Amino acid sequence: MAAEDISGQTLAGISLPAVVRSPWWELSRRLLLAVGILVGTVLLVWFDNEGYHDNNDPTGEVDLVDSIYYTTVTLSTTGYGDIAPVAEHARMINAFVITPLRIAFLVLLIGTTLEVLASQGREMFRVARWRRKMEQHVVVIGYGTKGRSATATLLQNGLNHESIVVVDPNPTALEDAHDDGLAVITGDATRREVLRRAGVETASQVIITTARDDSAVLATLTVRQLNPDAYIVAAVREQDNVPLVRQSGADAVVTSSEAVGRLLGLSSLSPTLGEVLEDLLTYGQGLEVAERDLLVTEVGKSPQSLPDQVIAVVRDEKVYRYFDPVVTQMARGDRLVVVRPAKETPWAPRPGTHGEDTTVDED
């Protein structure tokens, strides 16, 4: 399949950016073209008025007013026949000059109308089709630095662009999200109608990265009221606001200022440790922190004996550190939080899909 960019223009695998102009510019340009055709035809008939005859005028002469009248009825294909070319050269000019101008005039007017109707209809169809597919998607509220980084991580881990919707009132964020190939709902995320347009009620996850903590609290409350089952992750600047955001309905809260401050402090005390932590936070190179399923062949083993560097075990929706006595032996259904090379796939398939032996020896 030929590659397609966000502009939708594809030709033999070559993607070209769309030239975006103001609708008013396009309308003005077409109106000027139409006026130019009218004026040009009027001048053409008037300068050659001796080749025309006015059947309603006893003298048969065609003046400037008659030229304007003849041009309007001719270009509009009305053609009353009261003014007609009689000279041979005037008829040839009508055939080879005025007739193409008439066609161009009609194409210009009709084409503009059809383009407006077609573009509106196409956009309505696209929106309707997009809404039908919006289920179990991810809504990203706020497309600043944190929102873009979160979205990039989702995309790099296999989520497709059609499964992410951005909500942001900033026109700059709208352009950035469109450049990244994402659907955007422009508006205040603390308002119900805006979140409904983003399909929050059917979303599986909501990421909230607003610029202010009070906006994060209101957005979390509204999202939780609209969708009690969505997994909500929110970012706040101040640690003191974490309990408030959790009480508002967030499942996970990340304190951006605390995390950055801790990383700065560790980098100052131990540059090597800061480098390792930065490596873990940077996607696509060095080391990655990932979560994967426990394979069938790993059941009954200790976390320390697995090929991955296990740092935590998720059992019954509760997180245990790898050294916790509760998880000294792996059990079916466990999930592992591991540190592994970035080149490896972070999300391992479900057990039994690697072609491994699915039988477990029991003593």
Q: What is the pLDDT of residue 122?
A: 60
Quick check: 167 and 187 in contact, CB under 8 A? yes
**Taking the CB of residue 60, how many other CB atoms lie within 10 A of it?**
12
Q: What is the 3-state secondary structure (H, E, C) of the chain?
A: CCCCCCCCCEECCEECCCCCCCHHHHHHHHHHHHHHHHHHHHHHHHHCHHHEEECCCCCCCCCHHHHHHHHHHHHCCCCCCCEEECCHHHHHHHHHHHHHHHHHHHHHHHHHHHHHHHHHHHHHHHHHHHHHHCCCCEEEECCCHHHHHHHHHHHHCCCCHHHEEEECCCHHHHHHHHHCCCEEECCCCCCHHHHHHCCHHHCCEEEECCCCHHHHHHHHHHHHHHCCCCEEEEEECCHHHHHHHHHHCCCEEEEHHHHHHHHHHHHHHCHHHHHHHHHHHCCCCCEEEEEEECCHHHCCCCHHHCCCEEEEEEECCEEEECCCHHHCCCCCCCEEEEEEECCCCCCCCCCCCCCCCCCCCCC
Tell me how far apart the alpha carbons of residues 76 and 54 are, in angstroms, rounded to a whole number. 19
pLDDT at 155 over 70: yes
Q: What is the pLDDT of residue 173?
A: 83
> What is the pLDDT confidence band of residue 67, given thresholds at 50, 70 and 90?
confident
More confident residue, 113 or 101: 101
What global pTM score does this model have?
Answer: 0.55
Amino acid letter, 1: M
Q: What is the pLDDT of residue 60?
A: 81
Q: Which residues contact 109 (CB under 8 A, 6 or more apart)?
A: 34
> What is the pLDDT confidence band of residue 275, given thresholds at 50, 70 and 90?
confident
Query: What does the chain come to in residues?
Result: 363
What is the pLDDT averaged over residues 73-102? Answer: 82
Comparing CA positions, the residue from 191, 193, 222 lying closest to residue 206 is 222
What is the phi/psi pair of residue 326, to 5°?
Answer: -65, -30
Quick one: tokens of 57? 């005028």
User: What are the pLDDT digits (tens) for 217-247?
Assistant: 999 999 999 999 999 999 998 888 999 999 9
Tell me how far apart the alpha carbons of residues 129 and 141 are, in angstroms, rounded to a whole number. 22
User: What are the pLDDT digits (tens) for 293-303?
Assistant: 888 888 999 98
What is the pLDDT averaged over residues 289-294? Answer: 83
> What is the pLDDT confidence band of residue 21, given thresholds at 50, 70 and 90?
low
Quick one: tokens of 291? 């979560």
Strands 164-167 and 138-141: parallel
Rg (CA), the chain: 34
Comparing CA positions, the residue from 295, 265, 301, 286 lying closest to residue 356 is 295
